[in-house]
Structure 1
Amino acid sequence: MNAFRAKPLKFPWPPLLYGAAVLIALALGHLFPIPVAHEHSWILSLVGYGLVVLAITIDLWAVKTLLDRHTAVLPNRCATCLVTCGPFRFTRNPIYFSYTLAMTGLGLATINPWFFITAIAAVGLTTLFAIRKEERHLLSRFGFEFERYCRHTSRWI
C-alpha cells in the first residue's frame, strides 16, 4: 500500500495518551502531593474550569469543522480533504491543543501540579507518536497545499 492510501496511525493513540496522563496525574497527586500555596484557590478553580470549558468548546468546534468537510475525525483514518478553516486556521492540531488546555485547566482547578507535568509528557509523546505520522500522511495526500498550510499555521499555537 502506498503512502497516499496508508492510514496515518494504526490506533488512535492521542486520546489514550491524554487519558493516561490524566489518570497518572490524579494518582501521583494522591500518592505524592506537591505542596502548593493556595490562598486564593477559588480564583484558580474558576480559571481552571474556565480553561476546561474553553478546551471543550475548541474540541467540539474542531470536530464539527471536520465533520462539515466530510473528512476523518479519528487519527487512525485517512483524510479525504485538507481542512484549514475553523480552529485549524490557528493551529494544525486544535483537538490535541484542547486536550492540553483541558489538562492545564484541571491542574489549576484541582491545584495539582502533576497535571502540568503529565501534560508536557503527553504533548511530547503525541508529537512523537502521532503528529509526525499524521503530518507525513497529510503531506503524501496533499503535497504542496499541506506544505503551504504548515508555513502559515503552527503545529500547536
Structure 2
Amino acid sequence: MTHDAQPDLGPAVKFPPPALFVAGLGAGVLIDRVIPASWVPSGHRLWEVLGVALGVVGLAVVYAGIISFRRHRTAVYPNRPASTLVASGVYAHTRNPMYVGMTTFYVGGVLLLHSVGALLLLPIVLRLLFVYVVQREEAHLRTAFPVEYARYCATVRRWL
C-alpha cells in the first residue's frame, strides 16, 4: 500500500485578511454610536488631512506588496501555497508590508472617522491577524523554504 503525499495547501488562512481591518473599523464605528466619545476638536482639519495621507500611504504599501508578489508569480492570497520567497522591493524592509499597509490605512480611517472605538479595537485586530494569519503564513514559509526563510528572517524584521 502506498501513501500519496499531501498537497501543499499553503498557509490555509480561512478568510481574506483585509476583512479583519474592515470588521474592526465597522465595529469601532458601531461602538462610537452606542458610546459617543470625541477626541478631536470640532472643525480641526489636521486629523482629516493626516487620515487621508495615512490612507494613501497605506494603500500604496499594500499595492507595492501585491505588485512584488505578481512580479515573482507567487500567490497573493494566503489560502494558496507560495511558489517563491519574495525578499526584494518592500519585502526587503518588512516581512509583512501588506499588513503594515493595511494597519496604516486603518489608522488613517480612525482619524477620518474620529473613531475612538476603532482605535481601541486596533490591538484586537492586530492580535487576530497575528494568530490566524501571520503565524500560519510563517509556518508555511518555514516548511516551503527552510534555509531561505531562516536567512530572510535573520535580516528582515517582521513589521518595521
Normalising by the residue count of structure 1, what TM-score does the alignment of the two structures yield? 0.92
Corresponding position of 2:100: 97
Cα distance 1:40–1:144, how it changes in 2: closer, same or farther (>3 A)? farther
Q: Confirm or deny that 1:127 pairs with 2:106.
A: no
CA apart distance, 1:110: 2.0
Decide whether the 8 Å contact of 1:13 with 1:130 is kept in 2.
Answer: no
Distance in 2, matches of 1:10 and 1:124, equals 15
* Matched residue SS, 1:91: coil
Decide whether the 8 Å contact of 1:72 with 1:78 is kept in 2.
Answer: yes
Corresponding position of 2:78: 75
CA apart distance, 1:112: 1.4
Q: Confirm or deny that 1:16 pairs with 2:5.
A: no
Q: Confirm or deny that 1:62 pairs with 2:87.
A: no
Give the residue type in structure 2 aligned to 1:30: R
Which residue of 133, 141, 144 corresponds with 1:141?
144
Corresponding position of 2:118: 115
Corresponding position of 1:27: 30
Q: Deviations over 1:43-102 (max 9, x none)?
A: 111011100000111111110110000000001110000001111111111111111111
Decide whether the 8 Å contact of 1:12 with 1:74 is kept in 2.
Answer: no
Decide whether the 8 Å contact of 2:9 with 2:79 is kept in 1.
Answer: no
Normalising by the residue count of structure 2, what TM-score does the alignment of the two structures yield? 0.90
Structure of greater Rg: 2
**Count of residues in correspondence between the two structures:** 156
Which sections of structure 2, spanning at least 5 residues, go unmatched?
A: none
CA apart distance, 1:37: 4.3
Give identity over the alignment, percent.
Answer: 25
Which sections of structure 1, spanning at least 5 residues, go unmatched?
A: none
CA apart distance, 1:39: 5.5
Corresponding position of 1:151: 154
Decide whether the 8 Å contact of 2:95 with 2:159 is kept in 1.
Answer: yes
CA apart distance, 1:116: 1.8
Mean Cα displacement is larger for which, 28-37 or 136-145? 28-37
